[in-house]
Amino acid sequence: MAVEVKKCTVEEVQKLRGISIETFRDTFQDQNTEEDLYNYLEKAYNTEQLTSELLNQQSEFYFVFNGNDLAGYLKININEAQSETNGEDALEIERIYVLPQFKGKGLGKILIQQAVERAQFHQKTNIWLGVWEHNQAALAFYKKLGFVQTGAHSFFMGKDEQTDLILTKNLTKE
């Protein structure tokens, strides 16, 4: 099947909302209370919040399609849109989500390549992301692609403080 990466537009906010909730729930529902998960999803992925993010000129969203099927998406941030200050030479991958039925098909690598290309376009030399310390599959995936741990920060799922590891990839070494 042909794989296509396509920039997401504000007109597609409901499609973005649906896949955001489905992928986040699939990945994290077993490790969090239903109440914390529900509250987070309502706050992070409501239509107003996602519309605001889509309209931010320093953020970009990309859908990945496997044939005609929406399979996942990527959200990247530059400059002030980054969730943490990591320097003017950095691009953040804030979200890289793939639906469970499409995992293991190389779509994550394609989305990472999209992020690398956008970083080069924006003349950034580093890409970074936060990964929950207990998400072993994601940690292994990113490390295989050349990311190294450079820090950590807190992430709150409701009142539950969790630790995200900060992983960075230097693009000048490629």
Using one digit for the tens of pLDDT, what is the confidence trace for 133-161?
988 989 999 999 999 999 998 888 877 78
Digit-coded pLDDT (tens) for 33-90: 888 889 889 999 999 999 999 999 999 999 999 999 999 999 999 999 998 877 789 9
| pLDDT, tens digit (0-9, with 9 covering 90-100), for 83-128 | 887 778 999 999 999 999 999 999 999 999 999 999 999 999 999 9
The CATH number linked to 101 is 3.40.630.30
Mean of pLDDT values over 14-34: 91
Three-class secondary structure of residue 61 per DSSP: strand
The stretches of the chain forming alpha helices (DSSP H) are 13-28, 34-44, 47-55, 107-121, 136-144
Look up 142 and say whether it is catalytic.
Answer: yes
Residue 63 lies in a domain: yes
Calpha distance 12→18 (Å, rounded): 10
Catalytic residue chosen out of the listed positions 40, 62, 73, 142 = 142
pLDDT surpasses 70 at 174: no
Q: How many domains does the chain have?
A: 1
| Side-chain-facing half-sphere of 173: CA atoms under 13 Å | 9
Structural domain harbouring 84: 3-124
Asked if residue 132 belongs to a domain, the reply is no
In this structure, is residue 166 part of a structural domain? no
